A and B are shown apart, each in its own frame.
Chain A
Amino acid sequence: MVATTPTAARSTRRRPGSGRQLLRLAILVGIVGVVLYPLIWMVGTSFKSQAEIVNNIGLLPEVFTPGNYTSGWTNFDFSFGRFFLNSAMVSLLTVVGNAVSCLLAAYAFARLRFRLRGMWFTLMIGTLLLPGHVLIIPQYILFRSLGLVGGDWPYLPLLIPQFLATEAFFIFLMVQFMRGIPRELDEAAKIDGATAFGIFRHVILPLSRPALVTTAIFSFIWTWNDFFRQLVFLSELQDYTVPVALTLFIDSTSASAVGPMFAMSVLSLLPVFLFFLAFQRLLVEGINTSGLKG
């Protein structure tokens, strides 16, 4: 199956209702069912009462309790929407920061020749390898000594690194994609007199859309879900983001608003789901025809 379907990918052959298509659909629906069962269970649980969540492990609530959503939304001094806005702002700015800064660095690594390129590339990969937990405290000390922690706008320590291409993951990702772009295109542009920036602007940038879309998706979603850094750098309730706020429902020793927590967890999936749904379209369209056929 793996070996046969992909080749259909590009060909224009498309016979509706063919047996092969039905089979593929059936397989897909089957996998989706299995994959989504835990999530459906989660949605079901968000409608259970407190005591039921702990005791009834079934898919559906015995007593339908939509109140989890309203009580979760209004649980704090601010509506939960405030945390959504905070998270959305941090996530969107992170997307912008990563997309711009990592693309620039990736272009340099993938296409330009300069002294010490190999060394810098190795270092870049190296920054991926150190477990983050030993970096939190040094980073905190560093940002604090730079006066960035706890200012009027407390998100600076979360965002500045993103505008300085510190997420080597995305650089490496983009490098791999750019290396898939035939160099003949650069050469042709060079013959036309394009500078390094011109090539970047007219050849690489338009052809990097899949990598950029991927970067945007991951930046958004990972930031939306990031807990530890946001916990460390944000200190006021009004500044908290969704992952930090979600933990506030359950203080393992003294509070246990599991129902509202589930409800808000389900809600917090929506923005990322919609973001993904919107951006994956850009993956569907592809770039090949516009970029290569000319």
Chain B
Amino acid sequence: MHPATSPTSGVSAEQAHRTPLPRRRLLRRFVAAAVAVPLLLGGAVACGSDDEAGSDGKVELSIFWWGGDARNQLTQQALELYTKKNPDVTFKTTWQANQGYFDKLATLTAGGNPPDIFQIDDNFLAEYASRNTTLDLNEYKDGGKLDVSKFPESLWQYGVVDGKLAGLAAGENTQGLVYNRTLLTENGLPEPTTGQSWEEHVAWAEQVSKKTKVPGTMDPSADYKAFWVWLRQQGKDLYSGNDLGFTAEDVTRWFELWKGARDRGATPTADVIHEGNATDITKQLVVTGKAGTSWVWVNQMPELKKNTNDELGVVAYPGDPSAQWARASMYWSVFRGGKHKDVAVDVLNFLVNDPEAVKLLGTDRGLPSNLDLRRAVSAEIDDPAMKQSIEVETKLAETFGASPQVPIKGHSKVRAELIKAAEEAQYGRLTPAQAAEQFFTACKSAIA
């Protein structure tokens, strides 16, 4: 339902449309009843009938994403193209930076009017899917209305939560270790390579530190995506079903690996690591010159390049690269209570499979999910940094392993707790074993 066109009257009619409220429980508590019921009436407005279009056949879809202005321009153009091909469908677009994006999305959902289509990431997909906010796209996929046949199998599967296809991969990315090539060439040092072991990487970083006075590598012990890759290389995983896929001992080993690296001078000091633990592009140590590497996503390379005059290179994270997978950089999801769900799914299909639209969108949300179109788009890229990241990802795609399950409810808390525990160890306030114990306990309660 679109707020600008929503009638403020007719609430009761639509209310009747809804499944009966479990009023008894509310009425038992008079405060709740006095306060909540009028609000429920309002909230119920959103769940109207599922008709396909207004009497005049016109449909307006609301669509919401986060990103910068470049993404805005590209997405607007792609949506205009859809309207051109389907004149009855128009869009009400909302975009903002990711600061506050999920706060607003949650608030809109609470108010009963989330957008028809919204962008989401693997951090929150399970949260929304498990509360039935997202439409299950499986029936559309099976009915041929949503085509994922050209997607890498593991990519679209990374949108499945509890057997439901909750999000459609809007693009693909994977972990990438970005390093300062200028620094290495100037000092006659070798560049890191895909497939080097973690121990080799630490030894390499130690060598860089000694020669250049710039700490060789960022300490990624607080970084869930590095931890995750490392776990998969140990035959473990971040999650397994509704439980954790690792033990406290695994965490201890991970923290000890990096304590060793810090002790050898391969990484920066704890305060600098803390700076690098922020996910912002502009705080990555490889661009601030405070370390030789940063642990990021491959597709962030071009944006990183804008913030430094040095040449950058990118390889896979250390260890067996088959631990990496075709990760959906972000998804498009459809609101389950929306009025025009079929049209919304058709728009999704258009955004990922229409050659013109995909060409317009380029690699802004990651590599195009549709492999045929990905080749076409990649061939036309000129930006050297982007070219480089596409080449690396295409290479890695050859060895990609199966995708893990989408992170479960409580994942954002797990991420935050990992940072906290790793920093306790980095600042030397806890031993690796103590920090691991703290993290493991916190995780258990976060996903409970």
Contact = CB atoms under 8 A, between A and B. Distances in A.
Contact of B96 (A150, A248, A253, A258): A248
Nearest to A257: B68
A254 B92 CA distance: 23
B100 A247 contact: yes
Nearest to B38: A145
A49 to B, nearest CB: 9
B98 A251 contact: yes
A279 interface: no
A140 B110 contact: yes
B279 interface: yes
A236 B107 CA distance: 16
B38 to A, nearest CB: 7
A140 to B, nearest CB: 5
Instruction: Say which size band chain B's interface belongs to.
Output: 35 or more
B107 A232 contact: yes
Interface stretch (B17-25, B300-308, B416-424): B300-308
Contact of B289 (A55, A151, A152): A55
B42 A253 contact: no
A132 to B, nearest CB: 13
B66 A251 contact: yes
Nearest to A149: B3
Contacts of A150: 3-4
A145 B38 CA distance: 8
B415 interface: no
Instruction: Say which size band chain A's interface belongs to.
Output: 35 or more
Contacts, number: 142
B71 interface: yes
B213 interface: no
B272 to A, nearest CB: 14
A144 interface: yes
Interface string A205-227: 00000000000000000000001
Interface string A261-277: 00000000000000000
Given A231-B104, A248-B96, A254 B71 contact: yes
B280 A252 contact: yes
Nearest to B46: A144
Nearest to A228: B100
B99 interface: yes
Among A55, A138, A227, A249, max chain B CB count under 10 A is at: A55
Given A150-B3, A232-B104, A247-B96, A144 B38 contact: no
Nearest to B284: A54
Nearest to A151: B4
Contacts of A158: none
A244 B280 contact: no
A137 interface: yes
A247 B95 CA distance: 11
Nearest to B110: A137
A231 B100 contact: yes
Among A141, A146, A152, max chain B CB count under 10 A is at: A141
Contacts of B287: 51, 54-55
B8 interface: yes
A251 B67 contact: yes
A70 interface: no
Nearest to A54: B307
B66 A50 contact: no
A225 to B, nearest CB: 15
B303 A256 contact: yes
B308 A149 contact: no
A234 B427 CA distance: 42
A147 interface: yes
A102 to B, nearest CB: 26
Given A144-B42, A237-B95, A256 B307 contact: yes
B309 A232 contact: no
A236 B94 CA distance: 6
B103 interface: yes
B281 A253 contact: yes
A251 B100 contact: no
Contact of B98 (A138, A146, A149, A253): A253
Interface string B81-110: 000000000001111111110011011101
A150 B103 CA distance: 17
A257 B72 CA distance: 14
B151 to A, nearest CB: 22
A251 to B, nearest CB: 4
A160 interface: no
Among B67, B93, B96, B306, max chain A CB count under 10 A is at: B96
B70 interface: yes
B355 interface: no
B43 interface: yes
Interface in A37-61: 50-51, 53-55
A82 to B, nearest CB: 14
A55 B308 contact: yes
Contacts of A137: 106-107, 110-111
A137 B100 CA distance: 14
Nearest to B278: A252
B308 A255 contact: no
B43 A141 contact: yes
A188 interface: no
Nearest to B94: A235
A152 B111 CA distance: 19
11 contacts: A140-B111, A144-B42, A144-B45, A145-B45, A146-B8, A228-B103, A231-B104, A235-B94, A255-B68, A255-B71, A255-B97
Given A50-B306, A256-B306, 13 more contacts: A54-B287, A140-B108, A144-B3, A145-B43, A147-B8, A150-B3, A231-B103, A251-B71, A251-B98, A252-B278, A255-B68, A255-B69, A256-B307
The 5 closest A-B pairs by CB, nearest first: A145-B42, A255-B68, A150-B3, A147-B8, A252-B280
Interface of B: 3-4, 6, 8, 11, 38-39, 41-43, 45, 66-72, 92-100, 103-104, 106-108, 110-113, 278-282, 287-289, 300, 303, 306-309, 364
Interface of A: 50-51, 53-55, 75-76, 136-138, 140-142, 144-147, 149-152, 227-228, 231-232, 235-237, 244, 247-258
